[in-house]
Structure 1
Amino acid sequence: MADTPSPGTELLWAALGGDPALTHHIAYGGPRGLLAARLPVMELARAAVAVCALAGAERAARLAGGAVPAVRVDDGAVATAFVSERNLRVDGRAPVSFAPLSRFWRTADGWVRTHANYPHHRAALLTALGTTEEGVESAIAERRAQDVEDLVYEAGGLAFALRTPAEWATHPQGALAARQPVLARERLDDAAPRRRGAGERLRVLDLTRVIAGPVATRTLALLGADVLRIDPPRLPELADQHTDTGFGKRSAALDLDSPADRRTFGELLAQADVLVTGYRPGALERHGLLRPGLVVAQVSAWGHEGPWGDRRGFDSLVQVASGIAVIEGSAEQPGTLPAQALDHGTGYLLAAAVLRSLTEQDAAGGTRLLRLALARTAHLLTGVLPPQQPAGASDAYAPDAWLAETASPLGTLRYTRSPVTYEGCPADWSRPPGVWGSDAPEWLTA
């Protein structure tokens, strides 16, 4: 394995505020030529996993009072993990990645992409267009792309017009994403962190869904955290998505608009060390989710400011709006990345940011606020990382080397092992995913 730090690793480790000398603890290897694309997708993936593993190694060393252990980054493991949702099998059944109405559509003047995996987003799309599922294609074809985007947004749905990189650069949200750091880190006060006794696990409240946030908390669970995911009972997670990202976690349902559930959540928050949330701007204040000594990590599609700060979004939609779909295809025939790399890359970076914040907090205290956005990761991919080098033929690659199988309450699962590895790192999760919302909303006692 090679020990030369990748450019992306150096860049992301600096964004995390890490000691640059520690990147020499990382060794790289594995088959080359994976996640082939016009953009440097493999470099993003490799770097995000590398800094996550290094942040975990650094924290493990601090807790043990020893030296930072060696970190190993294998491109095969990384590339396999970045398509973990595609590798999943439940009793031999392949997952459902996109619903029929989640796709590109031709418009009168270009293209839009819609996302309708969730039933409420599907209903909003059909309401906006005033049609049935069978009539969506013709209803979109007779409209301008921008008109479809606006119409569906007003109805509470998700549709975004295809933009070129130049168009995104002049869009207010695109210009803002280009000016902001890939990771915003803020110390809010001088509060002391919650100190845990010997044997007590880190407690992480997970209020996220759809890949980026769940990948981060899945990684924290691998490293020993007690991760409790909380969802509203009337908005179940998509089954395969829950399964893929639910390893190592427990899942409970609470309605934060219910006084009783609100009290339960407050008790959980009072004992938590970390809160990871995908809520939109204002939710922390509205729901009272900040408390002294907490590490709060927020992930969003577009960022927490700007004209799209309150809009929902997914990896596929950010690719379309940010110009990535044009780069990977063309304005006449849009393309896609070989993985939902914005989601996965942001997820591993988010986990790294939490781990580094805990390490800094142990030394200096302070409530910590972290903010990441898929649109900022998109800018990293399109405008910051070195250009993709011609890949040539891929080395021999057999993803089975990084897949495993386990029994679970959901059936027999084939799943992807974590690419985060260092000396002493757990090799696998302590538990498979369970039934969504079936766990008690309480912390483990041991």
Structure 2
Amino acid sequence: MTRTTGASPATAAAWDALGGDPALLSRVSHLTRAGALPARLPVRELAAACVGACSLAAAELAATRAGRDVGAVQVDDGAVATAFTSERHLLIDGRAPVSFAPLSRFWRTRDGWLRTHANYPHHRARLRAALGTGADASVADVAALLAERSAYEVEETVYAAGGLAVALRGPEQWAAHPQGAEVAARPLLTRERLDTAPPRDPRRPLRVLDLTRVIAGPVATRTLALLGADVLRVDAPQLPEDPDAHADTGFGKRSTRLDLGAGADRRVFDELLSGADVVVTGYRPGALDRFGLAPETLAERRPGLVVASLSAWGGYGPWGERRGFDSLVQVATGIAAIEGDAAEGDQPGALPAQALDHGTGYLLAAAVLRSLTEQVAEGGSRVVRLALAQTAHWLVHGVRPEPAATGEAPDPAARLAETDSPLGRLRYALPPVSFDGGPADWRRPPGCWGADAPEWPTPAAPAAPGEPEPPAARLPGHG
């Protein structure tokens, strides 16, 4: 392993995209380890940069709250690699989760390769309906059907039915695609100040409404919960959640269910919004607009709000309103072709982690933290937008490989912990975000999905000058 002082070029690029002060990059030290997240693409470098930028943003906000200089930030490849594969290390009463359903996989087609995503029941139903198969169709039945069809034709048919399927493309094909060209023309992330709302009181407890699903958004809000935020995840009762995914990304949060189309539940949500400081959304662009939850509308209703918006393909271009997941973005953007040997007729590959999800999640948390820091001095409602496809473009075209470390590969066991929870005994990956005075673990394990009351707790009274802050107000870097 090798320890270096100062941020890597990738970390510096991420910090610049976040609008951070370049002078703070000297606070970062990096412990590189051999064999962490091995891939043809620079996945280790991307992962370390995303976590490093997030850690620095957390350290900056902690220093702003305390009125002191920004402390040291530590990035450890071992911690990062374990966290980026947290769903694979999770055990629930000794049971390992199943990450992908049988119909979520690569398929050989008449003219190439196709990947589908069907982990949720409604996605499986839409896929089968689009393909014209019955509910009892086996993997072999679907494989035989797809072998006779064009990958691009199936991609359009399945998406038209509300399902998820993407044809394999190489990097050049994606660059020539209208959506690929749109992504390439935009920065890694966007940040916007919307109004002149007054500056934020840095001592005020932070409340986050979490309207995200699957990995990237929940990783971001899990990170904000680590740093002391009161995070309340809100799900629709009619949309099932994978209990294993909830067990992995629910640390530190509370969870409730509200039907935003029902009057009573909508009034409850509006009351929650009136007390929120941050709203994080991860649904398909436009999907929440009919509920008055577009970023600009949210900021108008709650001046001083930070709205963090996450999508698969970006809220623009011909695919702007399409659903998507990490595995599908890898296939469309050329990553799966690079990581496999599809040009030789062999099966496409995949990254050693859901790195687009995890990386974008830490960048999303970092963007929220930086927005909060800026609000202390400048005020203003803020909107930040990120997309898995933009992170993918950065991985393929922006992040550069660094010299590999020597020595033994990191041992994931050193970064795992166990705890009892309402879901059972959990083995889980510890958080990789690390800075002087920062937390080493979450304050609470995940509870049962949707079981918490849709309300904010009564805030603790602020401490008198010279007294310790109450626990709920120590943000970030409690404990």
* Cα distance in 2, alignment partners of residues 158 and 259 from structure 1: 31
Please state if 1:415 is matched with 2:431: no
What does residue 328 of structure 1 align with?
Answer: 339
What does residue 99 of structure 2 align with?
Answer: 97
The match for 1:299 among 292, 310, 330 is 310
* Cα distance in 2, alignment partners of residues 389 and 334 from structure 1: 25
* Cα distance in 2, alignment partners of residues 414 and 138 from structure 1: 39
Percent of aligned pairs with the same residue?
A: 68
What does residue 177 of structure 1 align with?
Answer: 183
State TM-score, norm by structure 2.
0.90
* Cα distance in 1, alignment partners of residues 289 and 143 from structure 2: 41
Query: Contact 2:171/2:335 (CA < 8 Å) preserved in 1?
Result: yes
What does residue 437 of structure 2 align with?
Answer: 424
What does residue 144 of structure 2 align with?
Answer: 138
Deviations 1:161-210 (A, max 9, x none): 000111100101011111111111111111125547x5x52000000011
Query: Contact 1:12/1:51 (CA < 8 Å) preserved in 2?
Result: yes
Query: Contact 1:87/1:414 (CA < 8 Å) preserved in 2?
Result: yes
State TM-score, norm by structure 1.
0.97
Please state if 1:215 is matched with 2:219: yes
Query: Contact 1:177/1:376 (CA < 8 Å) preserved in 2?
Result: yes
The match for 1:360 among 374, 390, 393 is 374
What does residue 120 of structure 1 align with?
Answer: 122
Query: Contact 1:236/1:436 (CA < 8 Å) preserved in 2?
Result: no
Deviations 1:316-360 (A, max 9, x none): 000000010000012222100000000000000000000000000
Q: 1:142/1:390 Cα in 2 relative to 1: closer, same or farther (>3 Å)?
A: farther
Could you list the runs of 5+ residues in structure 1 that have no partner in the other structure? Answer: none
Within 5 Å, give how 1:8-407 maps onto structure 2. 8-132=10-134, 133-134=137-138, 135-193=141-199, 195=201, 198=203, 200-283=204-287, 285-289=289-293, 290-291=298-299, 292-331=303-342, 332=345, 333-386=347-400, 388=401, 391=404, 395-407=408-420
Following superposition, the deviation at residue 32 of structure 1 comes to 2.5
* Cα distance in 1, alignment partners of residues 446 and 349 from structure 2: 33
Q: 1:215/1:154 Cα in 2 relative to 1: closer, same or farther (>3 Å)?
A: same
* Cα distance in 1, alignment partners of residues 286 and 413 from structure 2: 43
* Cα distance in 1, alignment partners of residues 384 and 406 from structure 2: 39
Following superposition, the deviation at residue 72 of structure 1 comes to 0.7
Following superposition, the deviation at residue 91 of structure 1 comes to 0.3
What does residue 463 of structure 2 align with?
Answer: none
The SS at the match of 2:192 is: strand
Following superposition, the deviation at residue 155 of structure 1 comes to 1.1
Q: Which amino acid aligns with 1:56?
A: A
* Cα distance in 1, alignment partners of residues 91 and 19 from structure 2: 38
Q: 1:394/1:38 Cα in 2 relative to 1: closer, same or farther (>3 Å)?
A: farther
Query: Contact 1:127/1:155 (CA < 8 Å) preserved in 2?
Result: yes
The SS at the match of 1:412 is: strand
The SS at the match of 1:236 is: coil
Query: Contact 1:77/1:402 (CA < 8 Å) preserved in 2?
Result: yes
The SS at the match of 2:4 is: coil
* Cα distance in 1, alignment partners of residues 215 and 5 from structure 2: 30
Query: Contact 2:221/2:231 (CA < 8 Å) preserved in 1?
Result: yes
The SS at the match of 2:107 is: strand
Q: Which amino acid aligns with 2:320?
A: G
Query: Contact 1:83/1:339 (CA < 8 Å) preserved in 2?
Result: yes
The SS at the match of 1:407 is: strand
Following superposition, the deviation at residue 286 of structure 1 comes to 2.7
Following superposition, the deviation at residue 31 of structure 1 comes to 2.1
Deviations 1:30-55 (A, max 9, x none): 52331111101000000000000000
* Cα distance in 2, alignment partners of residues 99 and 444 from structure 1: 38
Q: Which amino acid aligns with 1:317?
A: L
Query: Contact 2:200/2:376 (CA < 8 Å) preserved in 1?
Result: no
* Cα distance in 2, alignment partners of residues 3 and 346 from structure 1: 24
Q: 1:194/1:61 Cα in 2 relative to 1: closer, same or farther (>3 Å)?
A: closer
Moved more, 242-251 or 1-10: 1-10
Following superposition, the deviation at residue 154 of structure 1 comes to 1.1
The SS at the match of 1:421 is: coil
The SS at the match of 2:357 is: helix
* Cα distance in 1, alignment partners of residues 276 and 247 from structure 2: 24
Query: Contact 1:215/1:344 (CA < 8 Å) preserved in 2?
Result: yes
Deviations 1:59-105 (A, max 9, x none): 00000011111111100000000000000000000011000000000
* Cα distance in 1, alignment partners of residues 121 and 406 from structure 2: 41
Following superposition, the deviation at residue 362 of structure 1 comes to 1.1
Q: 1:62/1:83 Cα in 2 relative to 1: closer, same or farther (>3 Å)?
A: same
Could you list the runs of 5+ residues in structure 2 that have no partner in the other structure? Answer: 460-479
Query: Contact 1:28/1:72 (CA < 8 Å) preserved in 2?
Result: yes
* Cα distance in 1, alignment partners of residues 97 and 283 from structure 2: 26
Q: 1:237/1:72 Cα in 2 relative to 1: closer, same or farther (>3 Å)?
A: same
